[in-house]
Amino acid sequence: MYIDRIMHTDLITVSPKTTLVQARDLIEEKKIDHLLVVNDKKKLVGIISDRDLKQNWASPATSLSTHELSYLLQKVLVSMIMIKTVVTIPTNTTIERAALIMQQNRISALPVMEEGELAGIITSSDVMAVLLQAIGISDESVRLSIFVRDTIGKLAEVADTLKDEGINIQSLFCWPENRHPGITEMVLRVANQDGVKAMEALNGKGFKVKNRYEKDITPFLPK
């Protein structure tokens, strides 16, 4: 999936001359976590987050009066605290690539560009929502875990076993078991009513299926 399918296009933007107070009020009113800063030519020049605002807000312990504090905050402009070196991505970026970029740069939002123009924004919450959807978490499904050797044909063997029993795999993903080189964990979900049948079928083929947390996974590893 590419990010242009889930990015937000109803953008809330502000000018670099926007005050800190105005930016805070806008974030609270729109219930968003980021504001994109654009110049008079509608070019992206910065980004500011709710966290940035809070970090630059005056401490409640200040000795200034409310009137004095309000006056000073009205003098602080977005341009003074915004992130000017903005990490952006094009619309043809995949969801997983966007997630990696966020992790590598320790950021929670990415403005999306198309032919040099601001086209949207995607956040870490958007990426997480897609991940959860892909994993297929649901009260109507059962999570089964199988440890297999990282060799050709293991995925097909698992799929064929369930196919022969008329069991549909709702979702499936894999990751390497770092503590046991050469071993991959397959995590799949099937309908609740197929859970027991799926376990019996897979166990009958020599797989050791795990359907709950186990501190010691050694008994479930392939010989």
pLDDT, tens digit, for every residue of 55-89? Answer: 877 555 455 556 666 667 677 899 998 999 999 99
As a whole number of angstroms, the longest Cα–Cα distance in the chain is 76
pLDDT of 197 reads: 96
What distance in Å separates the CA atoms of residue 119 and residue 7, rounded to the nearest whole number? 9
Strand partners, 2: 94
Domains and CATH numbers, the chain: 3-131 (3.10.580.10), 136-220 (3.30.70.260)
8 Å CB contact between 39 and 27: no
What distance in Å separates the CA atoms of residue 161 and residue 169, rounded to the nearest whole number? 11
Among 156, 138, 158, which residue's Cα sits nearest to residue 147? Answer: 158
Q: What is the pTM of this model?
A: 0.77
8 Å CB contact between 101 and 87: yes
Residue 145 has which token pair?
């875990």
Q: What is the pLDDT of residues 148-204, one digit of tens each?
A: 999 999 999 999 999 999 999 999 999 899 899 999 999 999 999 999 999 999 999
